[in-house]
Amino acid sequence: MGEVMLSVESLGVTFTRGGDTVRAVRGVSFDVARGESFGIVGESGSGKSTVLRAICGLAPTSAGRIALGGQTLATPRPATFYRQVQMVFQDPYASLHPRHTVDKVLSEPLAIHGFSDREARIEQALADVGLGPSFRFRYPHQLSGGQRQRVAVARALILEPQILLLDEPTSALDASIQAEVLNLLDRLRAERGLTYLMVSHDLAVVAHMCERLIVMQHGLAVEELTRAALAAHRAETDYTRALLAASAGYTPATA
């Protein structure tokens, strides 16, 4: 494995509210190499999104260490962190501000970080995700789900991060648009040498996009696999085997 870009060591995340304590993540470790695409699959509610949010500082870390390029990250994250790591959210219908045009969505990060050549960058970002200039001044309600997700990708890429955290980037999209977005992500990674950390519940999508992956269940990483092992259905744990079996489609209960 090449140089380690992002390393997560026995990460723990605990939420408390009132009398409830939720140990959403209970000691998850993995390393992502520079330029690699790493996948997280697993049960719904197993803490996949929470791992990504913890890396970004959006969820409280209660244990463990997250390091970027060998340096442990401070909480709250420094401004430079956001130039290196960006995230694409699960639901394209919820991740764009309803009153902001595409132009505003894209110029906001540039304004925050004080870029000067905003015009050129916005045009470039739109072209990168395959949206023409005619989309620039539209509101989200004038866009389809796939177009919204492209805007979300453009927003994440406009600060030129090295790492992109992708939280189920295609689960809300239909098959034809999923193919478009996956191809787009693939192309951008090849062109820019980006590092991806991608969450999905669809094994086929992860197998298509990622070289290595971990499988999560109840806040734990139960298994680490390579793409080849996944493709050959060589799984160690029962849970991964169950996932693989269920991916083939619905089978009526035998009992």
* Least Cβ distance, residue 219 to ligand ATP (angstroms): 7
Those residues whose C-beta lies under 8 Å from the C-beta of residue 89, and which sit 6 or more positions away, are 95, 152, 167
User: Closest CB to ligand ATP among 109 and 146?
Assistant: 146
Nearest approach in angstroms of CB 95 to other proteins is 4
- β-pairing, 163-167 with 195-199? parallel
Could you say whether residue 254 binds other proteins (CB under 8 A)?
Answer: no
Question: Radius of gyration over alpha carbons of the chain, in Å?
Answer: 19
* Smallest separation, CB 169 to ligand ATP (Å): 13
Q: How far is the CB of 199 from ligand ATP (least distance, A)?
A: 6
Positive or negative CA dihedral for 236, 241, 244, 245? positive
Q: CA-to-CA distance for 235 and 246, rounded, in angstroms?
A: 14
- Residues near ligand ATP (CB under 6 A) are 15, 17, 22, 24, 44-50, 145, 174, 201
Residue with smaller CB distance to ligand ATP, 48 or 150: 48
Amino acid at 205: V
Smallest gap from residue 7 Cβ to ligand ATP (A): 20
9 binds, among Mg ion, ligand ATP, other proteins, none (CB under 5 to 8 A by kind): none
Instruction: Give the Å distances, CA to CA, from 28 to 4, 25, 50.
Output: 17, 7, 11
Q: Which of residues 152-191 bind other proteins (CB under 8 A)?
A: 152, 155, 159, 168, 171-180, 182-183, 186-187
Selected from 89, 197, 214, 223, the binder of other proteins by CB under 8 A is: 89
Q: Judged by CB under 8 A, does residue 7 bind other proteins?
A: no
Helices (H), the chain: 48-56, 79-84, 102-112, 118-128, 145-157, 175-192, 203-209, 227-231, 238-247
